[in-house]
Amino acid sequence: MTQPVNNKETTTDIYRRQFLGKTAAAAGLALAPGMILTEVAHARSADQPASDKNRWGLLINTNKCGTGCTACVSACQTENGWGEINKSEPHSKASQKAVWIRKVKLKDKLTGHVQSLPLMCQHCEHPPCVDVCPTGASMKRKDGIVLVDKHICIGCRYCMMACPYKARSFIHEALENQKVHAPRGKGTVESCTMCVHRVDTDGTPACVEACNAEGHQAMYFGDLKDSNSAISVELRNNGGQQLRQDLALNTGVRYQGL
């Protein structure tokens, strides 16, 4: 008679164990999303794609930007291998050569007030360059960075005409000694990539780093979708203007002090 009783006890025990096991698993599952949420704010691993949970942006304070200072421009050239450091395109005029970022001087004729600011691809939410591209080479990543896929760019330059910021350049001649992380070549259009290779490894664009190193601290880089990021806090507290706000492109690059 003892046998059935024992059997019953064993079955109950198994049920109890299974129940406890399932509860523990459920608790584990409940924890997992929380852990993923905290990870999004920081670096993603190399095998994870860029997500629309981030939108990378820049904020430039024109009052802090040094007139005559070109640290951001030289840093971009060194990082991405264009301009002075790459002596290619010998048959092209200076005005025909690639410019990823340039310093622009604004002078108010009435007051004589002079402002200086760096101008590069504004990484629009609704980029006109992407709209006009016939091949899909001009594209916007999920995290808001606007790029040219040079693999399928046919060099038609529609995007250069469509861009209201004159941010794109065309390469006319064969190049050599490109940077490994910044491939660029003849017959394709290019522009500021917001140092996407750095962003993907949780880094900061070269221009921002150079500006900070110069002690100007005029540029912020960060996630516009993260309300606690330095750039979002600064934008919330002190505002930031878009260039050509009337075009409603919702640019990822904002300016203060204009």
Partner 1 sequence: MLSHKTIISTLLSVLLLLPVFAQAGDLMPVVPKAKAKANPDTLCIRDVKDMRKNHMKYILHKRDKTLREGVRTKQDSLAECISCHISKNDKGEYASFGDSKHFCSSCHNFAAVNIDCFDCHNDKPTAASKTGSTIK
CB 91 within 8 A of CB 256: no
CB 159 within 8 A of CB 147: no
Q: Which is nearer to partner 1, 1 or 46 (CB)?
A: 46
Of positions 80, 88, 116, 188, contacts partner 1 by CB under 8 A: 188
Backbone φ, ψ for residue 38 (5° rounding): -70, -30
- Under the binding rule (CB under 8 A), the answer on residue 47 touching partner 1 is yes
Of positions 58, 72, 146, 147, contacts partner 1 by CB under 8 A: 147
Q: Which region, judged by CB under 8 A, interacts with partner 1, from 30-38, 91-99, 137-145, 159-167?
A: 137-145
Query: What's the rounded Cα separation, in Å, for the pair 105 and 126?
Result: 26
- Under the binding rule (CB under 8 A), the answer on residue 50 touching partner 1 is yes
Q: Please report how close the Cβ of residue 236 comes to partner 1 at its closest, in angstroms.
A: 27
- Under the binding rule (CB under 8 A), the answer on residue 178 touching partner 1 is yes
Alpha helices in the chain (DSSP H): 2-41, 71-80, 128-132, 158-162, 196-199, 206-214, 230-238
- Look-up: residue for tokens 């924890």? 31
- Under the binding rule (CB under 8 A), the answer on residue 113 touching partner 1 is no
Of positions 139, 156, 160, 247, contacts partner 1 by CB under 8 A: 139
**Which is nearest to 169 in space by CA: 67, 69, 89?**
89
Interacting residues toward partner 1 by CB under 8 A: 46-50, 139, 141-143, 147, 149-151, 174-175, 177-181, 183-188, 196-197, 199-201
